């Protein structure tokens, strides 16, 4: 992958410079410097540099096997980098995790089937040694659209509803950073769009910092303040794009020409990454 390739890369760098001029007003929540990860001789990530500012919603997209989830695991302290440094709120990922500075939402909700929605929400906070706030947990269930379902078991909830419980659970930790690894990957397209609107609304109300991995270009654009495009073999950042769409966003954004233009730019960067290999 050449550093001076034309097209999407040049546009992405221009976007990144424009965004950098506005960042000094905020604090960096997530920082990766020259991060490389090797697995038994295979380079999963190579020299990754990324800043996510406090309160920002950043999506990450790329082909399967490009290291998206590996990067999320490094930020979450679940995978040590081979080289480079990572910080979350100025601390090491391990220290930030132990301090409950971030919550993680995976593709599979991992709810405990014998516990109610409310009990699942408070469980991780209890496990982390923090005092659960059941009233706050009920408020969070209402925030994610599950008012009246506090006593329901996971088997009584749809896939989208179970993911809403998982999001409420992560929020109840009191974490300032949310790491989301394809949380809507098993949902149908309409439910994904509905959940995207819901997550944007919750993010706006709770003012969290979000790093969100997805395989869906429209989803990556709809959710993001900035979209990180990765290429594979090894996993590198192909480009970073500002997403200048109106806020708050709802499903009507999908039909706008501005949205389609952003999607086309991200798709172009993805295809350029393939063509350069």
Tell me how far the alpha carbon of residue 178 is from its chain's centroid: 7
89/91 Cα distance (integer angstroms): 6
| Contact by Cβ (8 Å): 269, 216 | no
Helix axis angle for 117-127 and 159-172, nearest 10°, is: 30
Per-state percent for the chain, helix, strand, coil, to nearest 5: 40, 25, 35
Phi and psi, residue 213, nearest 5°: -95, 135
How far is C-alpha 15 from the chain's CA centre? 20
CATH of span 26-101+175-275 = 3.40.50.300
Cis peptide before 234 (omega within 30 of 0): yes
DSSP class of residue 132 equals: P
The token duo for 54 is 């406090």
Task: Report the interhelical angle of 134-143 vs 159-172 (nearest 10°).
Answer: 140
Q: What is the DSSP string of 218-250?
A: HHHHHH-SEEEEEETTTBEEEEEEE----SS--
The pTM is what? 0.80
pLDDT digits (tens, 9 = 90+) for 144-154: 888 899 999 99
| Predicted pLDDT at 83 | 95
The whole-angstrom separation of Cα 21 and Cα 39 is 36
Per-residue pLDDT of the chain (277 residues; tens, 9 = 90+): 444 444 444 344 434 434 443 443 458 999 999 999 998 888 999 999 999 999 999 999 998 888 999 999 999 988 999 999 999 988 999 888 877 788 888 766 678 999 999 999 988 777 777 788 888 899 889 888 888 999 999 999 988 888 888 888 888 877 789 899 988 777 778 878 887 888 888 888 878 899 999 989 999 999 999 999 998 888 999 999 999 998 888 888 988 999 999 999 999 998 875 554 4
Locate the domains of the chain by residue range.
26-101+175-275
Strand order across the beta sheet in which 28-39 lies: 42-53, 28-39, 83-88
Phi-psi region of 11 (alpha: psi -120 to 50; beta: other; left: phi over 0): alpha
What is the structure's pLDDT at 214? 92
How far is CA 243 from each of CA 55, 214, 266, rounded to the nearest angstrom?
15, 16, 10
Phi, psi of 175 (to 5 degrees): -75, 145
CB atoms near residue 16 (< 10 Å): 16
- Give the helix ranges, DSSP H, for 111-233: 117-127, 134-143, 159-172, 189-206, 217-223
């Amino acid at each position: 992958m050449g550093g001076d390739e034309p097209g999407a890369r040049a546009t992405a760098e221009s976007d990144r410079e424009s965004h950098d001029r506005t960042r000094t007003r905020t604090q960096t929540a997530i920082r990766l410097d020259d991060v490389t990860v090797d697995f038994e001789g295979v380079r999963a990530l190579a020299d990754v540099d990324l800043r996510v500012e406090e309160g920002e919603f950043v999506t990450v997209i790329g082909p399967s096997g490009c290291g998206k989830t590996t990067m999320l695991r490094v930020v979450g302290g679940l995978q040590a980098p081979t080289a480079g440094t990572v910080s979350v709120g100025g601390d090491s990922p391990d220290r930030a995790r132990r301090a409950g500075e971030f919550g993680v939402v995976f593709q599979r909700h991992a709810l405990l089937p014998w516990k109610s929605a409310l009990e699942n929400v408070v469980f991780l906070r209890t496990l982390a040694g923090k005092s659960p706030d059941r009233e706050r947990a009920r408020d969070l269930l209402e925030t994610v659209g599950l008012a009246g379902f506090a006593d329901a078991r996971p088997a009584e909830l749809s896939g989208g509803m179970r993911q809403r419980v998982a999001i409420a659970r992560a929020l109840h930790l009191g974490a300032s950073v949310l790491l989301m690894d394809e949380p809507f990957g098993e949902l149908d397209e309409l439910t994904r769009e509905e959940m995207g609107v819901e997550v944007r609304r919750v993010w706006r109300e709770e003012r969290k910092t979000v790093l969100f991995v997805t395989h869906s270009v429209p989803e990556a654009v709809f959710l993001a303040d900035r979209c990180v495009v990765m290429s594979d073999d090894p996993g590198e950042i192909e480009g970073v794009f500002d997403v200048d769409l109106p806020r708050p966003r709802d499903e009507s954004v999908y039909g706008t020409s501005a949205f389609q233009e952003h999607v086309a730019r991200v798709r172009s960067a993805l295809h350029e990454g393939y063509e350069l290999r």
